[in-house]
Amino acid sequence: MSLEDLVGELDRRLADADAALAADYPGDRGVRQPVHTVYVPADKYDVNTVGAWGAEATAVLSEYGGSAEVLADVLELPPGLMGEVFERVRAKLAREPIEDLRIDFEDGYGTRSDEEEDAAVVAAARALTRSVRAGASADGASAVAPYHGLRIKSLEAPTRRRGVRTLDLFVRELTAAGGLTDGFVVTLPKVTSVEQVEAMVVVLEALEVEYGASELKFEIQVETPQAILGSDGTALIARMIKAGAGRVTGLHYGTYDYSASLGVAAAYQSMEHPVADHAKDVMQLAAAGTGVFVSDGSTNVLPIGDAVHAAWRLHYRLVRRSLARGIYQGWDMHPAQLPTRFVATYLFYREGLETAATRLRAYLGQGESGYLDEPATAAALAGFVLRGLDCGAVDPAEVDKLIGVDIAGLAKLARRPLRSER
């Protein structure tokens, strides 16, 4: 048998496996991953929410960490890069304080009468539409988060009808007013079975037909033990992603529901508890190569009153811990958490920028770095820089100067499609 005949035979034998690999692991979607998701109870959301969160976060930063030196001391960090990061964070809070916003009709909203929740749905959808239309003001401040949407109640039997009704009303209002954007996403909480994910696809398809909407996407909230380990002993997350038929954009860890479900005492429920790490390890493995983002959860220790500095130190440490573990997104539940979200994130990228740039230049044959990096590591380094660009921690001019490549070149190195939005 000739070489060509042998390879041809292998192509035929592996055709199904090749097709399955391409379908199940398409790689990066070429879109920005937000660094956080903010949850706002539906009855508290209005057209001013994004700006109000930014203003409150700025005020808290000014009062409790009024300069780079003060904030570095509060967070028990060496001054180092804090001066530049401090000003970048202040600018971020003025321009884009929330990257991803979820109008919450679930735990943050509670159980209300149908009439009350219906009214809240219509009001929130109309407010979101006004925010979308407002866009950015003359000074560059945005009235709407780049990514936004709602969290409905779960598809468990007791809340199924209410969750679907809320989603139906919300999408109807958005599409009628022209407020549905590419940044719209739905969060499906307390998922306990692959069948619920399949059911969510059915719901979204029906809404698209009914209202002429573009393809609707959703996130799976991983906050039940059944999502991590099924009754047959198998991990269900990978099957859930596949059941989403290309509509699943993210897996979000639910810190407190998941910990409580496993019997962890309230005082020990945390993003860094061993049961949390195990769940997130499974989530990362299931999502790898699929283009589905993984998000960490939240801390319920809020920076308010006399606890601001202690809560900031905790939040900063937890955000940095998630970043080091390769989880680049988390939840923020209060405006006063925004300063430490962005300080931790910006320091992470700025501290690693010079080394990443040196190693990438060496990989491109433009110098020495002391590392013998392989293509996979070069892709990770480029992806690191791209994430820094996405959130505003790094500027394109810096990348060009330090590495000598533009964004398109970085995307190629990272093995990603060129991102259309930054």
pLDDT digits (tens, 9 = 90+) for 321-348: 999 999 999 999 999 999 999 999 999 9
pLDDT in tens, 259-283: 999 999 999 999 999 999 999 999 9
Q: How far apart are CA 189 and CA 152, in angstroms?
A: 7
* 217 touches 248 (CB < 8 A): yes
Mean predicted lDDT score pLDDT of the chain? 94
Give the pLDDT of residue 421.
Answer: 45
Asked whether 245 and 238 are in contact (CB, 8 A), the reply is no
Q: How many residues does the chain have?
A: 422
What distance in Å separates the CA atoms of residue 118 and residue 161, rounded to the nearest whole number?
A: 13
Cα dihedral: 196, 201, 204, 206 (round 10): -100
Tens-place pLDDT, residues 158-214: 999 999 999 999 999 999 998 899 999 999 999 999 999 999 999 999 999 999 999
DSSP 8-state secondary structure symbol assigned to residue 106: S
Upper half-sphere CA count for residue 80 (Cβ side, 13 Å): 12
Query: Reading across the β-sheet that carries 330-332, which strands appear in turn?
Result: 293-295, 248-253, 218-222, 184-188, 147-151, 100-104, 36-41, 330-332
pLDDT tens sequence across 227-246: 999 999 998 999 999 999 99
pLDDT (tens digit, 9 = 90+) per residue, 55-113? Answer: 999 999 999 999 999 999 999 998 777 988 999 999 999 999 999 999 999 999 999 99
pTM: predicted TM-score of the whole model, two decimal places: 0.94
- Distances 412 to 132, 165, 178, 408 between C-alpha atoms, Å: 32, 43, 35, 6
Q: Contact 129/175 with Cβ under 8 angstroms?
A: no
Strands 147-151 and 184-188 come out as parallel
Nearest Cα to 413, choosing from 388, 386, 394, 392?
A: 386
Percent of the chain with pLDDT over 90: 86
**Residue 87 contacts residue 24 (beta carbons within 8 Å):** no
pLDDT score recorded for residue 140: 63
Of 127, 157, 155, 159, residue with least CA distance to 143: 127
Identify whether the C-beta of residue 141 lies closer than 8 Å to the C-beta of residue 51. yes
Long-range contacts of 182-185 (CB under 8 A, 24+ apart): 182/214, 183/145, 183/146, 183/147, 183/148, 183/149, 184/148, 184/149, 184/216, 184/217, 185/147, 185/148, 185/149, 185/217, 185/218, 185/219, 185/249, 185/250
Tell me if residue 5 falls in helix, strand or coil.
helix
Read off the pLDDT of each residue in 342-370 and give the average, rounded to a whole number: 93
Record the tokens describing residue 148, joined without a space: 């936004």
Handedness of CA 352, 353, 358, 364 (dihedral sign): positive
With contact defined as beta carbons under 8 Å apart, do 335 and 57 qualify?
Answer: yes
Among 127-131, 140-144, 354-358, 390-394, the least confident range: 140-144
**Token digits of residue 269:** 């429920």
